[in-house]
């Protein structure tokens, strides 16, 4: 539910209701001609509309996207009812002006100065035009309007916020982020810009960074429910579940019927293994809004579906056809795909997943194959046996850190759960430490291992993170799959740390990625050809790590082998970590632990073999992946 920043269901419903109310009032006064006739809106009916805008929409304090959604819903409801285009345009224009006034657009000193210099009409007209274009989905044209405003006055914070919104809708997230930051630099108390900045950071997977602008928005406006819920979402995805729960509970105390907060609560219950409580939370959300897509789709992830769940499917299809935003419909299509996969209707399952991924692409930047290849080339060139071998100044000799890596959906969660079941070990889940560190020091670390000062800093920082999670266990596991990119850096800082690499059938791994609703930042998962390319580069890099890392610190675990010989491989994993055997590792599904990944239901079940060779059910649909089949070791 990451891009709820774009979701405007409440505003859309208000827009439709305003249109219906206006039509009823107009029909009573017979002042508005319909069905192809033409007249202007009667003053009395228009004033009633605007008073209701003040009463219904004003208290919502809608952000720019939601104002646009409300106006768009209002406009299309009138057109659906047969009101003439020109009259609809006039009414929508009046509505947008009133919404802008209610939300102080524009209100900063720079815009006021511009009004004094050039008059308010050209500036206000551009703002209004930009909003109307957003409402119609004319994002490129809206961008031009806001760019004109910025050209007129570079310190128009509202125009920069609008420009950022249009850029974000066009998935130009880097530029959108820059505009939101500029708006905040001009007006530090611009609550909406802080909120929008957090939305862009969330959509790019930079969850840690999204926390600060959300907290600033809440400091400026403690009653900002959307920001409170969005903060809960970031914290939930970061694994800080108690803090996330607190956010949702605060939101629900202020707004007991807030659907997003109820759904967020259900998601936390599911992650913590309380599936009955999760379903109850989703059902409460559906009582408030029977069309709440995330609540209905959430039900499918709590268990394996059967043909007896046909009512769920029927309702899911109905909700998906109600005009959801692309990202919301995508989530529903992934859930529908999971239903069909569960019941063995693989053709319909694949079509649903394909549709879901096409919708996901609309919110993601295109995967850059060339950039990925260059990244792998740089790591292979910079991290050699010579550059990472021997004892490095500043490195830690701690064996406490352990890493479980591999392609996403390759079994890393299962292995982490097995290790966590040992009394002397704990899994910290997926930590962002190494990806964030490499991103922060990219210019240095892409050229080779860190120098002594940075090595010492990274070692101290990571030990502190582990101690903050689990101060006592002998081993603490970081199961971030993408740490496979950073093994050269990790080994340079912790040369005695153990690394477990999960190797799953490449087609099964890639297909499982394609069937999962990841963050938009994982853009390679949304296209089978991109997945094949990413896997080939992943395999090339892992082949390199095998050559240059000491063999005693890297254990490869075949996923199929673990599934087929659970005890044998579980013993090898525990022994590799230097721990005595404990039979509780075979009962991993009984271990209580928060699981933040898509596997949160599966790892609470005993080992099952259906996931091995799963791709054969979809062989006729997955041509781009089939070339991976013959070049992967067994």
Q: Mean pLDDT across the chain, nearest whole number? A: 86
**pLDDT at site 79:** 77
Share of the chain above pLDDT 70, in %: 86
| Residues pairing with 557 in the sheet | 502
Lowest mean pLDDT among 13-22, 231-240, 385-394: 13-22
84-143 tens-digit pLDDT? 877 887 788 778 777 766 654 443 444 444 444 444 567 888 888 898 888 777 888 999
Q: Is the pLDDT of residue 26 over 90?
A: no
556-611 tens-digit pLDDT? 999 999 988 999 999 999 999 999 999 999 887 665 544 444 444 444 445 556 66
Distance, in Å, from the CA atom of 472 to the CA atom of 486, rounded to the nearest integer, reads 26
* Domain positions in the chain: 395-631
162, 193 contact by CB (below 8 A): no
Q: What is the pTM of this model?
A: 0.73
| Residues pairing with 404 in the sheet | 500
39-42 CB contacts, 8 Å cutoff, 24+ apart? 39/87, 40/87, 40/90, 41/87, 41/90, 41/91, 41/94
167-211 tens-digit pLDDT? 988 878 889 999 999 999 999 999 999 999 999 999 887 888 999
Share of the chain above pLDDT 90, in %: 61
598, 515 contact by CB (below 8 A): no
CB atoms within 10 A of CB 472: 8
**pLDDT at site 239:** 82
618, 263 contact by CB (below 8 A): no
CATH number (3.40.50.300, 3.40.50.10490, 2.40.160.10, 2.170.190.11) of 395-631 reads: 3.40.50.300
308-321 tens-digit pLDDT? 999 999 999 999 99
């Amino acid at each position: 539910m990451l891009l709820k920043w774009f979701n405007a269901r409440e505003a859309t419903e208000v827009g439709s209701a305003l249109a219906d109310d206006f039509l009823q009032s107009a029909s009573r006064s017979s002042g508005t001609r319909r069905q192809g006739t033409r007249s202007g809106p009667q003053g009395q009916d228009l004033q009633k509309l605007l008073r209701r805008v003040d009463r219904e929409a004003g208290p919502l304090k809608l952000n720019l996207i939601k104002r646009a959604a409300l106006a768009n819903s209002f406009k299309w409801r009138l057109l659906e009812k047969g009101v003439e285009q020109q009259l609809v345009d006039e009414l929508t224009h009046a509505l947008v002006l009133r919404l802008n006034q209610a939300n102080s657009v524009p209100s900063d000193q720079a815009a006021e100065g511009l009004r004094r210099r050039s008059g308010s009409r050209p500036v206000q007209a551009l703002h209004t035009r930009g909003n109307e274009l957003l409402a119609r989905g004319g994002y490129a044209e809206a961008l031009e309007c806001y760019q004109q405003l910025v050209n007129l006055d570079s310190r128009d914070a509202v125009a920069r916020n609008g420009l950022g919104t249009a850029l974000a809708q066009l998935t130009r997230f880097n530029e959108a982020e820059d505009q939101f930051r500029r708006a905040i630099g001009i007006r530090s108390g611009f609550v909406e810009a802080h909120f929008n900045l957090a939305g862009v950071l969330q959509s790019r997977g930079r969850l840690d960074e999204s926390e600060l602008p959300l907290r600033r928005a809440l400091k400026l406006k403690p009653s900002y429910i959307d920001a409170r819920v969005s903060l809960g979402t970031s914290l939930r995805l970061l694994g800080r579940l108690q803090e996330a729960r607190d956010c949702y509970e605060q939101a629900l105390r202020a707004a007991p019927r807030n659907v997003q907060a109820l759904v967020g609560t259900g998601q936390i219950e599911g992650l913590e293994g309380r599936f009955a409580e999760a379903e109850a939370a989703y059902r409460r959300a559906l009582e408030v809004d029977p069309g709440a897509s995330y609540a209905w789709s959430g039900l499918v992830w709590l268990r394996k579906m059967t043909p007896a769940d046909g009512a769920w499917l029927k309702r899911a299809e109905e909700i998906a056809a109600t005009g959801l935003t692309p990202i919301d419909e995508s989530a529903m299509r992934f859930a529908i795909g999971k239903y069909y996969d569960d019941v063995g209707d693989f053709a319909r399952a694949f079509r649903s997943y394909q549709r879901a991924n096409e919708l996901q692409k609309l919110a993601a930047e295109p995967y850059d194959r060339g950039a990925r290849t260059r990244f792998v080339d740089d790591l292979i060139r910079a991290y050699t046996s010579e550059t990472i071998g021997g004892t490095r100044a500043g490195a830690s000799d701690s064996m406490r850190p352990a890493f479980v890596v591999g392609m996403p959906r390759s079994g890393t969660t299962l292995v982490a759960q097995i290790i966590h079941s040992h009394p002397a070990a704990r899994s910290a889940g997926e930590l962002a430490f190494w990806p964030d560190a490499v991103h922060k020091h990219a210019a240095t670390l892409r050229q080779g291992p860190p120098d002594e000062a940075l090595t010492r800093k990274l070692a101290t920082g990571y030990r502190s993170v582990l101690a903050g999670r689990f101060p006592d266990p002998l081993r603490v596991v970081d199961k971030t799959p993408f740490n496979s990119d950073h093994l050269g850096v990790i080994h340079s800082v912790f040369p005695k740390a153990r690394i477990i690499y999960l190797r799953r059938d490449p087609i099964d791994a890639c297909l499982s990625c394609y069937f999962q609703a990841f963050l938009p930042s994982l853009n390679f998962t949304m296209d089978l050809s991109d997945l094949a390319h990413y896997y080939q580069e992943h395999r090339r890099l892992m082949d390199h790590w095998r050559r240059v890392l000491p063999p005693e610190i890297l254990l490869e675990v075949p996923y199929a082998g673990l599934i087929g010989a659970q005890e044998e491989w579980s013993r090898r994993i525990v022994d590799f970590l230097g721990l005595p055997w404990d039979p509780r590792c075979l009962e991993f599904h009984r271990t209580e632990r928060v699981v933040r990944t898509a596997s949160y239901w599966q790892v609470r079940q005993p080992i099952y073999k259906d996931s091995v060779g799963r791709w054969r059910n979809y062989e006729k649909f997955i041509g781009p992946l089939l070339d991976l089949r013959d070049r992967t070791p067994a």
